[in-house]
Amino acid sequence: MKSLKTLTFLVMMMALFVILAACSETETGGESAGTETESSSSTTEEVSEETTEVKDVKLVLNWFAKAQHGGVYAAQENGLFEENGLNLTIEPGGPQVSSINMVASGNAEFGLAHADQIVVARNQGIELVAVATAMQGSPQAFMFHKGHGIEDFEDLNGRKVYIQPGITYWEYLKTQYDLSGVEELAYTGQHVNFIPDEEAVTQAFLTSEPYFMELEGVEVETKLIAEAGYDPYNVVLYVTKDYLEENEETVRAFTKAFVEGWNLYEDSYEEINKIIQQDNPDIEIESLKFEAESQADFVYGMDAAENGVGYMTEERWATLIQQLNDLKLLDEVFDANEIFTNDYLPE
């Protein structure tokens, strides 16, 4: 009898052990499943964070694609806009295309223009904000035959000067110097009349016309307009005030790619110029090379040497505003901080 009781007890203990083991496996399995679920959820969140929404944006250039847009093309070619969550479309400018009108009308988010154009636009009721500049100074100049140069701007008197009627810097020069003895002739973009006349002077861009004269076998020299004190920023990146207020992170991302693109272009311009030429087949590679090399100091020198590409100062903008007001191109002087900011430049 005792043996039977012992046997019954052992059977009951074994059954209890089996039940406990099964419960233990269930709990362990539940913990494993929970861990796997949490891990899966964590992975999904990481993928979600890594997959950022790409935003379509358009940039309108201030002219046909040239080396002065090298930073934009370097950024696009190296995927910098994509890295910053942007899908960029580049639209060329030209004589019939106003980047300011396109941006103001909402047909593009970003535009490039010269600083004086941005200031005048504000006077016309178009509120724009400059967020970076490609060039620290203006490469606009007078070009003359080598050995027939001028020391001072008043030395233009007694000469034929080919100049675009109404161009802002010429109006400025006439307020600073007595140029009553100049024979003004309309600038057409052609140099057929300038070339044979060794005493003639023509407006030019330091970054392009001297190269074209070299191809013609004509030796020339130049004098920068900036030496007279009129020196607006050139190829300035801007947006409308409203767009900036509503899309600060997009502006920050675009400006970052823009500046980093210019930093890349400094050492890779020959490769990037081939990309630029695809958008502007009418320009020669050698011309792009000349432009890239002659504009280098305007992009990477001056204030940019210490503060980085894209940097602008309140003093420069305030001076320009006052100059344009003095020329009666503005209804009133306004605070320079209303039209530019360095806040979106990368550190």
Closest among 88, 87, 89, 107 to 97, alpha carbons compared? 107
pLDDT at 36 over 90: no
pLDDT at 31 over 90: no
CA–CA separation, 302 and 100 (whole Å): 27
Give the mean pLDDT of the chain: 88
**Which one has a higher pLDDT value, 6 or 193?**
193
CA–CA separation, 284 and 199 (whole Å): 29
pLDDT 10s digits, 42-99: 443 443 344 468 999 999 999 999 999 999 999 999 999 999 999 999 999 999 999 9
Position 94, amino acid: G
The two tokens of residue 72 are 């934009």
Out of 41-45, 125-129, 273-277, 323-327, which region has the weakest mean confidence (pLDDT)?
41-45
pLDDT recorded at residue 52:
60
pLDDT recorded at residue 316:
98
Q: For residue 284, what are the CA distances in angstroms to 22, 80, 92, 178, 287?
A: 81, 26, 17, 40, 5
Out of 44-58, 84-98, 102-116, 117-131, which region has the weakest mean confidence (pLDDT)?
44-58
